[in-house]
């Protein structure tokens, strides 16, 4: 009995397109929520291979420009979009942020991926109306594009009474101890997207 062994099926890819919150800015390698996600997938014996295509400082404009090549290179089964915070920091128009997020969600879906949009909030010193509109933008895009949604990546971190103790000195980037909390915000919404395709 001879013959070649059947080729092992390639692991489905889980692509994360994010900014510094996903790119381990200021952290030791392997301590950010995306690395912790890869470890959890292994523990749960899920076959997905995580591709972290996050870049510190990236905006929705940059993510939208980068996404087609990433979709072509990796053919992901799941795409996690964690962008928008830098748009707010730069004062970019909300309509532009929404347009870019929606275009990314559509492109990922059309490439055959399931999509998870990860929401962000900005401090009230941006003005109450802007803060509310910004937070609502993620829910609006998720509803319109029929994607899964994590309303606020930093829930349980930025809204803690002792939040200052959970952030790096810039008060923007969370410390390593916050990243398991961030993963716990993402996991319950992400897990159903990882089923058999």
Per residue in 95-149, pLDDT (tens digit) is 999 999 999 999 999 999 999 999 999 877 788 888 999 999 999 999 999 999 9
pLDDT of residue 126: 80
pLDDT of residue 9: 63
What distance in Å separates the CA atoms of residue 100 and residue 9, rounded to the nearest whole number? 33
Residue 23 to residue 90: CA distance in whole angstroms: 19
Q: Does the residue 174 lie in any domain?
A: yes
Does residue 196 sit within a domain? Answer: no
Q: Does any domain span residue 9?
A: no
- Sign of the dihedral defined by the CA atoms of residues 36, 37, 38, 41, in that order: positive
Q: What is the dihedral of CA 195, 137, 181, 108, to 10 degrees?
A: 30
**Does 5 map to a domain?**
no
Please tell me the predicted confidence (pLDDT) of residue 125.
78
Rounded Cα–Cα distance for residues 190 and 79 (Å)? 10
DSSP tag of 151: S
Residue 11 placed within a domain: no
Domain extent for 122? 16-190
What CATH number is associated with residue 88? 3.40.50.1110
Residue 197 lies in a domain: no
Helix, strand, coil shares of the chain, percent, nearest 5, are 45, 15, 40
* Residue 180 belongs to a domain: yes
Structural domains in the chain (count)? 1
Burial class (CB in 10 A: 0-12, 13-18, 19+), 146: exposed
Q: Catalytic residue positions?
A: 20, 170, 173
Angle among Cα 63, 194, 159 to the nearest 5 degrees reads: 60
Give the span between the Cα atoms of 19 and 85, in whole angstroms: 8
Question: Which residues of the chain fall below pLDDT 70?
Answer: 1-9, 196-197
* Residue 164 within any structural domain of the chain: yes
**Alpha-carbon torsion 86, 92, 97, 100, what sign?**
negative
> Can you give the pLDDT at residue 172?
93
């Amino acid at each position: 009995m001879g013959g070649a062994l059947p080729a092992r099926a390639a692991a489905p890819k889980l692509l994360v397109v994010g900014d510094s919150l996903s790119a381990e800015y200021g952290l030791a390698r392997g301590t950010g929520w995306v690395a912790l996600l890869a470890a959890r997938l292994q523990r749960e014996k899920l076959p997905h291979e995580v591709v972290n295509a996050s870049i510190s400082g990236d905006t929705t404009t940059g993510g939208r420009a980068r996404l087609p090549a990433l979709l072509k290179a990796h053919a992901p089964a799941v795409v996690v979009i964690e962008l928008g915070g830098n748009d707010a920091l730069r004062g970019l128009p909300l309509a532009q942020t929404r347009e870019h997020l929606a275009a990314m969600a559509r492109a990922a879906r059309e490439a055959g991926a399931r999509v998870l949009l990860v929401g962000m909030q900005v401090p009230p010193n941006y003005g109450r109306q802007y803060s509310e509109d910004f937070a609502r933008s993620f829910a609006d895009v998720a509803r319109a594009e029929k994607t899964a949604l994590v309303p606020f990546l930093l829930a349980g971190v930025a809204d803690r009474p002792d939040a200052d103790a959970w952030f790096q000195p810039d008060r923007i980037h969370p410390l390593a101890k916050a990243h398991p909390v961030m993963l716990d915000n993402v996991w319950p919404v992400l897990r159903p997207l990882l089923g058999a395709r």
